[in-house]
Amino acid sequence: MRKLLFLGLAVIVVASCVVLSSSAENVSLRGDYVEVRTASVFAGACHYNGEVTTTGRDAMMAWSVTSGKWQGVDLAGVRAVAIVSSDANLAENDVAKQSEILIDNSASRTQALAFLHALEEKYAASLGKVVAVRYTPVTFDHQNKSFNVTAGEATMNVHAMPNDLCCKMPNLVWYKPLVGLENRKVGYTLNATYSGKSVGEPWERSGENSAFYGTFSL
């Protein structure tokens, strides 16, 4: 009996070590992130109130992994974009969302599947129902404080705000990024366009403080 109990305990310990090892291995992705919303995220109160019920229902989210693994797969260099849409402002609680995910076709199928699993596990609330996944060229150019992203029918060009104005006036930042970020900053959207129809309707925004950027980690 003692031998059986010992063996059973050994199995539990080994299984626990496997789970802990897997969990520690999963939480290791880091990289650059930028998103554009269809509403100004940094603006005066009147501007915010004029938009909150009429727009802000769509967003683009873009990731560029700089290091790390997920499910044992090295994902450094993998890039992806998600298009998110809803019938109400994305900041509302419990609003139903749907999304399309575009993963760069330079990633291997194994990498693409692992990163898709990471996005769905960690950002399910922000992505909502994933209605389409595509394997397509994705560019993510981050130079100094500017971001240029293209993926299929989606493009965004975002620059930093002069002198980090949003940090000096934090009470005028009305939204939170759709993912948790380190060193979160508000960005100025030179232009953002979505011309597809997989989720929502085509849209375009330009010349407004409607972006967030920073470092993501999983």
Structural domain includes residue 96: yes
Structural domain includes residue 22: no
Structural domain includes residue 160: yes
What letter represents residue 86's amino acid? S
pLDDT of residue 18 exceeding 80, the answer is no
pLDDT of residue 35 exceeding 50, the answer is yes
Q: Mean pLDDT score of the chain, rounded to an integer?
A: 87
Residue 1 banded pLDDT, cuts 50, 70, 90? very low
Structural domain includes residue 144: yes
pLDDT of residue 10 exceeding 70, the answer is no
Confidence at residue 134, expressed as pLDDT on a 0 to 100 scale: 96
Residue of 26 and 65 predicted with greater confidence: 65
Structural domain includes residue 176: yes
Structural domain includes residue 208: yes
Confidence at residue 19, expressed as pLDDT on a 0 to 100 scale: 34
Range of the domain at 158: 28-217
Stated length of the chain: 218
Structural domain includes residue 19: no
Structural domain includes residue 5: no
Number of structural domains (the chain) is 1
Confidence at residue 55, expressed as pLDDT on a 0 to 100 scale: 93
What letter represents residue 108's amino acid? S
First to last CA, the chain: 44
Confidence at residue 12, expressed as pLDDT on a 0 to 100 scale: 29
Report the percentage of the chain scoring pLDDT > 90: 74
Q: Are 78 and 111 in contact (CB under 8 A)?
A: yes
pLDDT of residue 162 exceeding 60, the answer is yes
